[in-house]
Chain A
Amino acid sequence: MLVVLLTLVGVYFMTISRRDFLRVTGIALGAAAIPSWVYSADLTSNPLPDFDKNKLADAALSSAKKLGASYADIRISKYRIESVSAREREIQAVAKGQNYGFGVRVLFKGTWGFAASPLVNEKEVERVTREAVDIAKANSAFQTKPITLVDAPKVSGNWKSSFKRDPFDVPIDEKIEFLLKLNEAALGVKGVSFVNSSMSWVNEQKFLATTDGTRVEQYLIRGVPSFSVTAIDRAKGDFQTRNSLAQGKGAGWEYTTEYDWLGEAKRAGEEAVGKLTAKPIVPGEYDLVLHPSHLFLTIHESVGHSTELDRALLWEANYAGTSFLTPDKTNKLQFGSKIVNFFADRTQENGLATTGWDDEGVPGQKWDLVKDGKFVGWQTTRSLAPLIGEKSSRGCLHADSWNSVPFPRMPNVSLAPAAKDVSADELISDVKNGIMIFGRGSYSIDQQRYNFQFGGQTFWEIKNGKITGMLRDVAYQSRTTDFWNACDALGGKSTYELPGTFSDGKGQPGQSSAVSHGCPVTRFRKINVLNTAAD
């Protein structure tokens, strides 16, 4: 509970109002696991309802222009979610939901205004557009730095994310069966006390029209099965958990069969029990060999967030924070060792942040953030690009709902594997005194993305080139540039995976987004490791 609780407090601390108290403290029962979307009863149809979206778009965009807006866009979106959760041999909750509406964004005298409504009709579209202009107008009287946009190509078309079987076409009983089997696999291990498992599936159907003439429609699917196994030693008053290593993916139902979930559940049971008697880590300096199921989150926090230009320009100063990177460090700062190459990619197959276009019509693209260890590129939007003299946007604008203001969000940010195929065993063989870490554990990083501490799910002692046994209570502390400069070897393509996180919190009001981070098994020299139980 504390893990979940403090996670939420960390993400939402300034946006919690009284109505959210029960949700945030985790006291609310039942279907509390679903995002705070608004649902609609029409749970079966796939395409947006049968009316003329273009007519509504015309109404919004022409009235925005008439009211004096220099730019406007309208998003009409439908979001569907399905989630099932189970504990031990019981189903805890089955929930289906849908959330549908539109949001209008206008730029008036260099000032944004936004309004949204769940009533999708022409009269309401006109009222909401007026409201958005009224807000922008009121604020524009005191605006100090007018916002400008770089041009974007006029585009039109349809785009679908990559999936084989639409999870929304899979009957609920198949989902229930999957979770109960998963739990059974873990409960079959002697010493396992509790198993919680769940799966969530999300479908976004988004229509966007802008005053630049762009009109695009997208259909996205993503999913995240996950579980947590607990072993308890009541005599000693000790308990240990082992969460799933597999993460969310931009994929369909095939993810439940293409990955060995049952095998991992059994292994998780064995490892949860193993953690009870594992050797406590002796604090000190160790070489680390990090598995993608762990390293993706370190990349997310230290590279993904530090290269967001809105953070560097202080737009997030009041919440998520700023960045130790600033525009004057572009092409100068040695971010990591020479073998370190990070790329941003909104075209990567199965990436959670892979899109056809962003929420202002800029096509998905791939570009370098860190090249041969040097920091070279930023994540931008149409209003951020001009602030560093760039002529086009990298396409990073995104809203998590029709009623959220779109703002800069992270693309998939990945670490390129070694050119020649290097195995995990080869990386381990050259370590005298080290630790191999799997899985996403407790993590914390400062508001400029510099000092961090990361735990994991399982920790394995490496002695003289061989894994010798299990460790517990491990976390490492480092600083972003020290850490990436200590990277001395990368695994090859065969060790590369693309894990991702389903809920990255940022912005005010708080929004959540999903993003993936590809990486190979990777080695770091002499990193400071502490014992989290001893502190």
Chain B
Amino acid sequence: MLLTEQEAKKITDKILSFVKADDAQVSLRNVKQSHLRFAANAFLTSGNTVERSANITVWTKGKRGSSSTTDFDDASLKAMVEEAEKIAAISPVDPQYLPTLGQQKYRDSNGYAEATANISLDARAKKIGGILKESIKDNVISAGFHEAEATAGAQATKNGNFNFEKDTDASLSMTVRTADGQSSGYFGRSHFDINKLDTERIAREAIRKAIEGQNAKSIEPGIYNVILEPQAVADLLGGISGEFDARRAEEGRSAFSSLGGKTKLGEKIFDERINIYSDPWNAEIPASPSAQAGIPAEKIYLVKNGVLENLIYSRFWAKRENAEPTPGPVNTIIESSGKASAMDAMMQNSNEKTLLISRFWYIRTTDPRTASVTGLTRDGVWLIEKGKIAYPVKNLRFNQSIIQMLASGNVEMIGKPERLSGGTLLPALKLKEFNFTSQSEAV
């Protein structure tokens, strides 16, 4: 059973009653997880786990200490508080200390489904058993991961704030290979409500990609027009919200830094149709109503119509720079200001040689100044000629700047965003130039 709001409140009240320090912030977390992993068309591992923890940060004369516990009895909670106070006593003054928040108002984002929190083992086994049967029938080799989890969390401060929230997440991802090992397809999706997780679509798409990817040809690396499916966009841009840190930009060490200690805030950095924002109440990817340090989350734009609208200010950096702390991000949504293009339209509008990319792999930064990254395609690449899929092609390594990729003139079409894992809602993108640097034989 997950912690309820009443139980959580009782525990945070108790912890705070033990605090002798000047200020304190407490958080509780309780996670229930159930997973099933299959591979080579057989069940591999499967398990249920429970985690719970309480965490406290205290400040005594501006000196900070943190500690945590997994035991919720009085003695353990008290020991945790004392440990944090001990660490604070021997720590230097925390220059980033700001008084914790008083009571805030939070608006629930409704990202919890009971069916996800308490899944049926038999129903799941039957569903995956069906996928294995279908894979064997289609003469393909499947591997995949099914996961359902429920989280309850609470935070409270010595200054009177309290917030409780719970959420769930269910996901299935699958990689399917042909028996000869020469083709591989992948598909994965997630939903907070397991009843809305379309496992049949996931299996169908992964199997289809593997079968249609057979007899791939080698092509020369170089600059290509590309269509990135939402999964490929997630692999490349799923973590982009974290790039908008104000401090790094102002200190001159981010792609959003300008010459002489300035930032690109207010400048047009991307194509004018690109919007990057966070919205806790988005119905597809509801996210936490509480942002950094317990500030109530709001819908915020990082990029609006291609313009760098907001950098993310922590409470500390905001105070120092005379700015407002940023109420987010808590998820990442990329959306076109104009009409979303369908995948068919993207293909039909591909007059030059265009590559359709399913997914990227092992992406690493090579130059943070231009947000340049390297990585490889994986699990399905096709060449499109005259608006139609001509044939599958082998994988390629790319070296590409994210800034240049999203720049005005390089973004041709933007699709309708879809929910992917990691709290993202992302569209397919059709891009004019994407730089591939070498071939990869890997399947």
Which A residues are within 8 Å of any B CB, using their own CB?
1-3, 5-10, 13-22, 24-31, 38-43, 90-91, 93-101, 103, 111-118, 131-132, 134-136, 138-145, 171-173, 176, 193-194, 230, 232, 234-239, 313-319, 321-322, 324, 403-405, 407, 442-451, 453, 455, 473, 475, 477, 479, 508-509, 530, 532-533, 535
Q: Give the residues in chain B near A115, CB-CB below 8 Å.
A: 47-49
Q: Which of A42, A144, A171, A444 contacts B136 (CB 8 A)?
A: A144
The 0/1 profile, CB within 8 Å of A marked 1, for residues 363-393 of chain B is 1111111111111101000000000000000
Q: Is the CB of A442 within 8 A of B91?
A: no
Q: Give the residues in chain B near A7, CB-CB below 8 Å.
A: 364
Q: Is the CB of B423 within 8 A of A18?
A: yes
Q: Give the residues in chain B near A230, CB-CB below 8 Å.
A: 253
Segment with Cβ contacts to A, from B2-10, B117-125, B337-345, B408-416 = B117-125
Give Cα A16–Cα B41 distance, bound, in whole angstroms.
25
The 0/1 profile, CB within 8 Å of A marked 1, for residues 58-83 of chain B is 00000011111111000011011001
Q: Give the residues in chain B near A447, CB-CB below 8 Å.
A: 361-362, 376, 378, 442
Q: Is the CB of B45 within 8 A of A112?
A: yes
Q: Is the CB of B83 within 8 A of A317?
A: no
Q: Is the CB of A451 within 8 A of B441?
A: yes
Give Cα A25–Cα B378 distance, bound, in whole angstroms.
23
Q: Is the CB of A450 within 8 A of B173?
A: no
With A237-B259, A407-B45 in contact, do A41 and B79 touch (Cβ < 8 Å)? yes
Q: B395's closest neighbor in chain A, by CB?
A: A446
| B158 shortest CB reach to chain A, Å | 16
With A475-B366, A535-B366 in contact, do A13 and B421 touch (Cβ < 8 Å)? yes
Q: Which of A317, A318, A453, A473 contacts B374 (CB 8 A)?
A: A453
Interface flag for B439 (CB, 8 Å): yes
Q: Give the residues in chain A near B77, CB-CB below 8 Å.
A: 41
Count of interface residues, chain B, beta-carbon cutoff 8 Å: 138
Q: Is the CB of B241 within 8 A of A41?
A: no
Q: B206's closest neighbor in chain A, by CB?
A: A318
Q: B75's closest neighbor in chain A, by CB?
A: A41
Q: B379's closest neighbor in chain A, by CB?
A: A447
Give Cα A453–Cα B365 distance, bound, in whole angstroms.
11
Q: Which of B29, B128, B329 contacts A142 (CB 8 A)?
A: B128
Q: Is the CB of B125 within 8 A of A22?
A: no
**Residue picked from B48, B64, B190, most chain A C-beta under 10 Å:** B48
| B180 shortest CB reach to chain A, Å | 12
Q: Is the CB of B174 within 8 A of A318?
A: yes
The 0/1 profile, CB within 8 Å of A marked 1, for residues 165-176 of chain B is 001010101110
Q: Is the CB of B126 within 8 A of A142?
A: yes
With A39-B69, A99-B70, A477-B397 in contact, do A14 and B171 touch (Cβ < 8 Å)? yes
Q: Is the CB of B399 within 8 A of A532?
A: yes
A-B contact pairs, 9 of them (CB 8 A): A2-B243, A6-B373, A18-B331, A30-B57, A38-B51, A113-B46, A232-B251, A238-B369, A318-B143
| B27 shortest CB reach to chain A, Å | 10
Segment with Cβ contacts to A, from B99-107, B193-201, B286-294 = B286-294
Give Cα A42–Cα B79 distance, bound, in whole angstroms.
7
Q: A232's closest neighbor in chain B, by CB?
A: B252
Q: B50's closest neighbor in chain A, by CB?
A: A117
Q: Which of A15, A91, A314 contacts B421 (CB 8 A)?
A: A15
Q: Is the CB of A19 within 8 A of B145?
A: no
Q: Is the CB of A317 within 8 A of B51?
A: no
Q: Is the CB of B368 within 8 A of A3?
A: yes
With A21-B331, A41-B67 in contact, do A446 and B43 touch (Cβ < 8 Å)? no
Interface flag for B225 (CB, 8 Å): no
Q: Give the residues in chain B near A114, CB-CB below 8 Å.
A: 45-48
Give Cα A116–Cα B48 distance, bound, in whole angstroms.
7
Give Cα A5–Cα B259 distance, bound, in whole angstroms.
24
Q: Which of B69, B87, B253, B367 contacts A40 (CB 8 A)?
A: B69
Give Cα A42–Cα B55 distance, bound, in whole angstroms.
13
Interface flag for B218 (CB, 8 Å): no
Q: Is the CB of B312 within 8 A of A27?
A: yes
Q: Is the CB of B71 within 8 A of A2?
A: no
Q: Is the CB of A315 within 8 A of B39?
A: yes
Q: Is the CB of A237 within 8 A of B257?
A: yes
| B144 shortest CB reach to chain A, Å | 5
Q: B312's closest neighbor in chain A, by CB?
A: A27
Give Cα A475–Cα B400 distance, bound, in whole angstroms.
14
Q: Is the CB of A448 within 8 A of B443?
A: yes
Q: Is the CB of A405 within 8 A of B242?
A: no
Interface flag for B435 (CB, 8 Å): yes
With A39-B55, A90-B92 in contact, do A5 and B242 touch (Cβ < 8 Å)? yes
**Residue picked from A22, A111, A239, most chain B C-beta under 10 Å:** A22
